[in-house]
Chain A
């Protein structure tokens, strides 16, 4: 990666080289004649086959295999990591009133009352390095939450406006495998897909999916007076499968023959060893090939320069209130705080650094915030897990981490009372839920039974293949009281601000957890998985049985209606610079441009006014394509 000369005036500077930034750059570069600079805070490690392999080995050698396990923390571009989460305890400091809570380990400063439990990656390629790959579109009613259900806000446009961009995101950026015929969503009609089909055939459903389908499909359950008909949907995913005619599969970066099909590594999170799963390095690689940095822009080609280890720290304004430059700190060695300060200038600036990092940069610069909404409306998909042992072996720990979901709970009249949720079927046994298989073996070897030899081997063979879990992911609604902000007392090694988070979940969402747990109870009953009876000892793994357990000492423990739930973050960080129809209540307009500065665009999940129940990456990518077109419109108007 080369460095940028300070005198250059670029057409566009993109801050952040993850999927959102890469998408915008691709759209703009593809129109030819442009010079683009991309600034990435983290390292470029993943680009070469050898270095990518070092990530895989790092993962294999790590004891606690969390999503960021392969991507070591970088003090100069610290990234949130779930390992640093802990239950927040009252720890008043001179800065905070007594009774408030501070957690300062890790990259995020948590002020509570609940921990913000999601992570992200700051490296070339961004969080798509460790994402699962699930590529679901939002539902039409998700865009009208306020009008239909009196909750949250409406988007400034509807599903139909975004639909063509969804198709492009699925074809041109991510490459999605799925069958339209296998999607069973509530509240949609034939116009939702039209005569569209995904570019690749669906990822084959796992054996577990098939077992669940047999027992659940067509069954009706009632949860809190609302009736649902169960049916598994095969989950569309950014993961290589058999291409449909006309689509060219994109393999691993720099080694295109590898990763042309998912091979069942069962490791999507935290890293796909063969790169069958989409990651943004693929798009960045394409940019490097087709629009080399040192090439002269022509009508069919642009110049895209990618600078890594460059942390944007400030946006400056000129006397007309337009962005006049981005100042960034360029460092050589992630273990040394030494850096060089540089400034780069462009006609248009696009922030694509992640919902939290975008907000942080705006706040640090004191720009784009006439609405007061920068950093506010922080959202995630808080999820709860339920898990158990099936009556028969379902052969988990095979295939991608998830291949199916149960979607009927994503929309309905109940949304005026409690949030919608989506059920993700997990193929990885109790890995997420209980640290299996390590915990399972440890339990058998060190626990009550102290098994060994042939009996141990046999018991492992009886228990682990029966493990399964469901993840119930809640739609969190926007609340200005959930926010990320900055505080001069909290800075990282380079002197940049650390994100300071305030986070809580309202009753609307907790009521959704309660409803989801009930739905899970009904399903477990249909599966023949009863609650364990008092005389069954879970330490000996009797089956069948439900093993869901939430403990008051769990990091994400909360209560509602007399029950406790343990929630996790899904890594779906959104809302911190919402898009809207009014400058008084939103940060960017429906074109994703700042209301306050006509040469500043924001992309990423920070733009989402509400999150629905779909993993937001696909939606964000669709929006990023649209934003790219809007930037081009501006550039053409300008010159």
Chain B
């Protein structure tokens, strides 16, 4: 499939299509992160747990931001395949290679391991975004993909488009109060400026982050912690606050991979050479890589399928919440918890196919799984604002 043929700077349909796949793209990296996260034995590797968890929450935020932008320009978020693109759904099947971005490695569902973290470092690697040259069939990088969307917004995202969407897509914006637990916040998109801010947040926070950070010294690379230092900027020579950590996912995963923190005077692109960051690679449940329900029988298969059902319902609930049911997001958040415990239970169940391994979460998307809802009157009253 060639997404680039639907140039987002040339037509509103092309722009909308790109945003459909942006939603899918943000979803795509979540299952590999979750497999690594949930495979970590409880109580171990707390730094890795924190780092991966915060990434996952931010990816979910990015999905909502992309959906808000798509809705604001009159698109209809949908997990169904785009027209004329070879029937490829935005929702991935694992192992997966994102077809429209070259520099994302093939993504597998793996337990926490050096190979898994290598993939995360590669995904988060800051790269200079190069606009595609003529005849290119893929974007070089995630940054280039979002750059194209940004350009498209500026070209075809006219006030007429936004005005029409305010009517046709009224009530579809996801609002900030439901999002918590991760950095950043949901931006409700009403106009071009909002849309660009939303895109900027996806890029700045996520994988499209600029390679400038590579030459930043770590002391400037510190995540704000509880309004530490009185909200003034960190100066060289400042003592870093208790519990500090670098803010970019790239830096955090690099530290975990190397098993060392950065020294405050190092640059982010250097190999961390500070305090030891203890990582117990062995403290991970040995899940079968890229597990699939159809490889098993009986109760094992039923357990795997139940997970796929929960996951699929979660995805469909997210799309439901992007289509005039923002309250469904609450049910989606609750399903995330359920997903976690089911995943861990699978990863504790010995595999009948290989005694050294366990079952695992297959993250197979079943289009027909009904969206979750707790939309009873009692529930709405109990949780009303």
Contact = CB atoms under 8 A, between A and B. Distances in A.
Any A–B CB pair closer than 8 Å? yes
Nearest to B241: A289
Contacts of A205: 382
Interface in B157-194: 177, 180-183
B118 interface: no
A10 B182 CA distance: 40
A255 B383 contact: no
B385 interface: yes
Given A254-B242, A263-B337, A289 B181 contact: no
B225 interface: yes
A401 to B, nearest CB: 17
Contacts of B226: 250, 256, 285-286, 289
Contacts of A204: 382-383
A463 to B, nearest CB: 24
A289 B46 contact: no
Contacts of B383: 204
B203 interface: no
A210 B242 CA distance: 43
B192 to A, nearest CB: 25
Given A210-B382, A249-B180, A289-B242, A257 B46 contact: no
Contact of A255 (B50, B57, B182, B183): B50
Greatest chain A CB density within 10 A among B54, B181, B241, B337 is at B181
A258 interface: yes
A261 B180 contact: yes
B177 A210 contact: no
- Chain B interface size range: 20 to 34
Given A254-B243, A255-B243, A260 B382 contact: no
Interface string B211-231: 000000000000001111110
Interface in A235-267: 242-243, 248-250, 253-258, 260-261, 263
B371 to A, nearest CB: 21
A260 B239 CA distance: 27
A243 B181 CA distance: 13
Contacts of B134: none
A393 B241 CA distance: 49
Interface residues of A, number: 32
B337 to A, nearest CB: 7
B299 interface: no
Contact of B239 (A49, A263, A292, A300): A292
Contact of A288 (B54, B242, B378): B242
Nearest to A209: B382
Contacts of A261: 180-181
A256 B225 contact: yes
A289 B378 contact: no
B206 to A, nearest CB: 16
A201 interface: yes
Contact of A53 (B46, B228, B229, B337): B46
A539 interface: no
Nearest to B378: A210
Contacts of B46: 49-50, 53
Nearest to A295: B239
Interface string B342-385: 00000000000000000000000000000000000010001101
Contacts of A255: 50, 243
Interface in A259-285: 260-261, 263, 285
Contacts of B183: 257
B385 A201 contact: yes
B181 A260 contact: yes
A290 B231 CA distance: 10
A283 to B, nearest CB: 11
Contacts of B243: 48-49, 253-255
A57 interface: yes
B43 interface: yes
Given A242-B385, A260-B181, A289 B229 contact: yes
Nearest to B58: A257
A511 B373 CA distance: 49
Nearest to A300: B230
B237 to A, nearest CB: 13
Contacts of A243: 177
A256 B53 CA distance: 13
Contacts of B54: 257
25 contacts: A48-B243, A49-B46, A201-B385, A210-B382, A253-B243, A254-B242, A255-B50, A255-B243, A256-B225, A256-B226, A257-B54, A257-B181, A258-B50, A258-B181, A260-B180, A261-B180, A261-B181, A285-B242, A286-B226, A286-B227, A288-B242, A289-B227, A289-B242, A290-B228, A300-B230
Interface of B: 43, 46, 50, 53-54, 57, 177, 180-183, 225-230, 239, 241-243, 337, 378, 382-383, 385
Given A260-B181, A289-B242, 12 more contacts: A57-B43, A204-B383, A210-B382, A242-B385, A249-B180, A256-B225, A257-B57, A257-B182, A289-B241, A290-B228, A290-B229, A300-B230
Q: What 10 pairs between A and B have smallest CB-CB spacing? A: A254-B243, A260-B180, A289-B228, A204-B382, A204-B383, A256-B226, A260-B181, A242-B177, A261-B180, A205-B382
